[in-house]
A and B are shown apart, each in its own frame.
Chain A
Amino acid sequence: GAVVSQHPSWVICKSGTSVKIECRSLDFQATTMFWYRQFPKQSLMLMATSNEGSKATYEQGVEKDKFLINHASLTLSTLTVTSAHPEDSSFYICSVEAPRRGNQPQHFGDGTRLSIL
């Protein structure tokens, strides 16, 4: 079964709207989650590392005021795209760091397709 649940799968909204994406760890407690962004036919780009109970670590070039990350519990991290504009349209994927890492240290959600009109 799924290890990570990401919702919603699709979002279409008007420019200026704030959109919240949820990433839930279903099988284990996750102190660390990751948020990626993917443009069509391109690779995954790490946006930020979400740490439970502390501020997220953003990658260079990612606006933290634009992409708000909250990791308030060991099973839930949220990404809020504030005042979204068409250029924010993209595919967003979260991943959860497995507790024992092993040969599959990250488990990915199914992604969220965000379209801003």
Chain B
Amino acid sequence: AQKITQTQPGMFVQEKEAVTLDCTYDTSDPSYGLFWYKQPSSGEMIFLIYQGSYDQQNATEGRYSLNFQKARKSANLVISASQLGDSAMYFCAMREGDSYTGNQFYFGTGTSLTVIP
């Protein structure tokens, strides 16, 4: 079974609108971390946001927020007020185990986001 599933190969959003990128995960480990990365066409991986499995509140970082629904095993990324520079590939990733024992990342297949002027 896939550890991370991103079901949206491509998404379009109007500039200044909000967009949600879906991510579901599969683990039996009670301790895990969820991450979102942005990869523009230049290739670098840009860290956006992190959610720990024991965090009570949804993570937020500026225009990025993570809609964490633990029972559904989903960790959707919400980008508010989309900008043209948000056009990129977005990857959801998971680390199993706590921050001291787990170090391997599992990546989803990515979602290509295009922001339309």
Contact = CB atoms under 8 A, between A and B. Distances in A.
Interface of A: 32, 34, 41-44, 46, 49, 91, 93, 95, 97, 100-111, 113
B91 A43 contact: yes
Given A95-B45, A108-B45, 11 more contacts: A32-B103, A41-B110, A46-B104, A49-B103, A91-B43, A97-B103, A102-B99, A104-B50, A108-B44, A109-B44, A111-B43
Contact of B91 (A44, A49, A101, A107): A44
B44 A110 contact: yes
Interface residues of B, number: 22
Contacts of A101: 99-100, 103
A71 to B, nearest CB: 15
B58 to A, nearest CB: 14
Interface of B: 33, 37, 42-45, 47, 50, 52, 89, 91, 95, 99-100, 103-105, 107-110, 112
Nearest to A32: B103
Contacts of A109: 44
B33 A105 contact: yes
A110 B52 contact: no
A105 B43 CA distance: 19
A103 B33 contact: yes
Given A42-B109, A43-B110, A44-B91, A105 B99 contact: yes
A53 B110 CA distance: 34
B44 A104 contact: no
24 contacts: A34-B105, A43-B91, A43-B110, A44-B45, A44-B107, A46-B104, A49-B103, A49-B104, A97-B103, A101-B100, A103-B33, A103-B50, A105-B33, A105-B99, A106-B105, A107-B47, A108-B37, A108-B44, A108-B45, A110-B42, A110-B43, A111-B43, A111-B44, A111-B45
Nearest to B45: A108
Contacts of B89: 41
